[in-house]
Amino acid sequence: MNEKDKWIEIIHELQDSICHSLEAVDGKAVFHEDSWQREEGGGGKTRIISNGNVFEKGGVNSSIVFGDVTETMRKQLQIEGSKWFACGLSIVIHPLNPFVPTIHCNYRMFELYNDRDEVIDRWFGGGTDLTPYYLFQEDAIHFHGIYKAICEKFDPAFYNQFKKNCDDYFVNWHRNSERRGIGGIFYDHQRPTNEKDGDFWMRFAKSCGDGFISAYIPIVEKRKAASFTEHNRYWQEIRRGRYVEFNLVHDRGTLFGLKTNGRIESILMSLPPTVRFDYNYQPLPGSEEEKLLDVLLHPKEWAGIITEADKNEWAKQSNTC
């Protein structure tokens, strides 16, 4: 099996396992699959969940797309070559309860070919990040702990590097460098080397994708039955507005899809179902909403408050990934 086929198999396995886990924790809604084809080449499987006990809207999508490198792509994406191929998994889950965080996850491989169909470039990218509406420190520590444990199995430098990448990427720069959420890990343009070949990056992505379940599902289980008020929902929709701003203004994946004639329904499935864009909305001083905003403006090093007991437990969980 070549590297391209190995990667496609990993993506489809992750899509299946993550969908099953999300359906189980919701207890009501199930994913509906929409298989589609792209005129220029390739297609995908869009799986949507909505109106559940827990999840108001979400998608777990896989895509395998390819085509010719156009002049627009060369200029906008700064790539060369004759043809391209991309395969990835993209997840966005928007819960109903404001005390359950939104989560985003994406893992992908990209290849470029010359006019003889020879691979001239290959790179891997991905990550998982958490966007809470209310800050629970133990949830943040748990989420980052899982990904720190996974990263350390592959390279001790990965977590700090990829955590910083995440903090620096998911940012609404037009809003005083306000982060979209509390981060996670994010990496991009990782090209295979002798030390870290294509198989290494595939195994890393598989472990990170499996880690989605260990990192997110326990938080959902803990928060999904919490009572909430209209005020809590109002704040959730304000923050969802910031999520929309980032995805439409800054997100490279969204821009790539739009520049390559991607499937609009799949690209924009990341947007939440309801949002607010109130003029100059400010949380009350000292409120829980302001506490969250302070962390979004000043990212924390969550791993710095992880105990040895936490590390041991999360290392065990990461070994099941």
* DSSP helix/strand/coil, 139: helix
The pLDDT, as a whole number, for residue 80 is: 84
231 flagged as catalytic: no
pLDDT of residue 92: 97
- Residue positions counted in the chain: 321
Residue 148 CA to residue 89 CA, distance in Å, equals 21
Of residues 55, 91, 34, the one with CA closest to residue 210: 91
Active-site option among 12, 32, 94, 104? 104
pLDDT (0 to 100) of residue 207: 98
| CATH fold for the domain made of 3-319 | oxygen-dependent coproporphyrinogen oxidase (3.40.1500)
Reported as a single tens digit per residue, the pLDDT across 66-118 is 999 888 778 777 788 899 999 999 999 999 999 999 999 999 999 999 999 89
**Helix pair angle (137-154, 308-319), 10° resolution:** 60
User: What are the domain boundaries of the chain?
Assistant: 3-319
User: With b meaning 16 or more CB within 10 Å and e meaning fewer, what string describes 154-182?
Assistant: beeebbeebbebbbebbbbeeeeeebbbb
18-50 CB burial, b ≥16 within 10 A, e <16: bbebbbebbeebebeeeeeebeeebebbbbbbe
Counting as low any pLDDT under 70, the low residues of the chain are: 304-321
User: What integer pLDDT is reported at residue 320 of this predicted model?
Assistant: 56
